[in-house]
Every structure is written in structure tokens, then in C-alpha cells.
Amino acid sequence: MLIVGLGNPGPQYKKTRHNVGFMVIETLASECRIAFSEKHEVFLLGSGRVDHETILIAKPRTFMNLSGTAVRRILENTGIDPSHLIVVHDDIDLALGRIQIKTRGGHGGHKGILSILSTLQTDQFYRLRIGVGRPPRDLDAAEYVLRPFKSEEHSLLARVIRQSVEALHCMVVVGTQKAMERYNRKVIRDQ
């Protein structure tokens, strides 16, 4: 299984809503003691294990709108079929505190997913959508996702990242259907 977290490279984007895919993949890497040891022109790649299952994890080095270029190169270099790909990304159509595992479908306005769909010419991959909430009415969605999370959201964000990592473990070890049943209806609350 290949798990790719989406985000934008560079320190100025590190804590933004658009980079929640990177946040999740970095937490997974840390917990599984996986280093991004392979550094390619358009992606970083690491390998390790979740329980007894071997996984590859990757971060594109391209900007979000060019994610498809990186994902195609990762698949070519690893020989993995898109049907064994999980893409972790932000989603403004889900409230902060919701995650959703999805198979197939369109891009829903997400430029990174649009790039992957266009480049791979298939929707036969899994997605872990992480809710970041809708922008206020007076703010453009593109500008909103490039802003950092508010300080009052940090506690809930940490719980969402934790739940997302658990969902990825479940997808890899138990299976996607069980993970969907377990996590798609759950609402994560701040404590």
C-alpha cells in the first residue's frame, strides 16, 4: 500500500489547512519510525511497516496543483498500481472534526485531486478526506486553505490528526470497508 499526503512545500505553508495531508503523513511516519529516506526531484519516499503490513509513504515536492505529476512518478518508481494508493488531503466540504474515507469519484473542487485524476486518468484510488471547514462568506476558498489553523482549533486539529492516523492503520491492516464503517460517521470533538 502506498500512502501519499498532499500539501505545499515550504515553511510558509507548514501549518496551513491545505497541508493537513502532510501533517497526517508526518505523524504516521513518526509513529511507525519511517524516514523519508528516498529524496527524488518531485517527491520524498519512505518505507516501513504498520503491524505486519509493509507500506510506502510519500510527500510530493510539487505544489498542490501539480500533485498528479509527483503521484504519477511515485507510482512509476515503485511499480504500485493506483488501486493500492491512498491519498490524504484537506476538504472544505467537511467540518473540522470529520474525516471520510472515499473510493473513486470526482475532485470536488480540490486542485490536488483534480491534478491526480487528470494525470493518472483514473479515479481508482482511495482518499482520506480531512475536514478543514468552509471559509467565511467574505473569504475565497483558495485563500482560506492557505491560512493557518486558528489557535482555538489546535486542540481539535491534534485529535483529528490522531484519528486520521488510526484510520490509515485500519485501512492497511483491517481493510478499507471496515475502516469506512468505523470512521466515516464519526464526529471528532474537542475535549
Which residues are part of the catalytic machinery? Answer: 18
Which residues are registered as beta bridge partners of 45? 38, 58
What are the two backbone dihedrals, phi and then psi, of residue 156, each rounded to the nearest 5 degrees? Answer: -65, -40
77 CB-contact burial (10 Å; exposed 0-12 / middle 13-18 / buried 19+)? middle
- 154 contact partners, CB below 8 Å, separation of at least 6: none
Closest among 118, 24, 17, 103 to 65, alpha carbons compared: 118
Q: In what order do the strands lie in the sheet with 53-60?
A: 38-39, 43-50, 53-60, 2-5, 85-91, 126-131, 99-103
Q: What is the DSSP letter of 134?
A: P
| 37 in Cβ contact with 29 (< 8 Å) | no
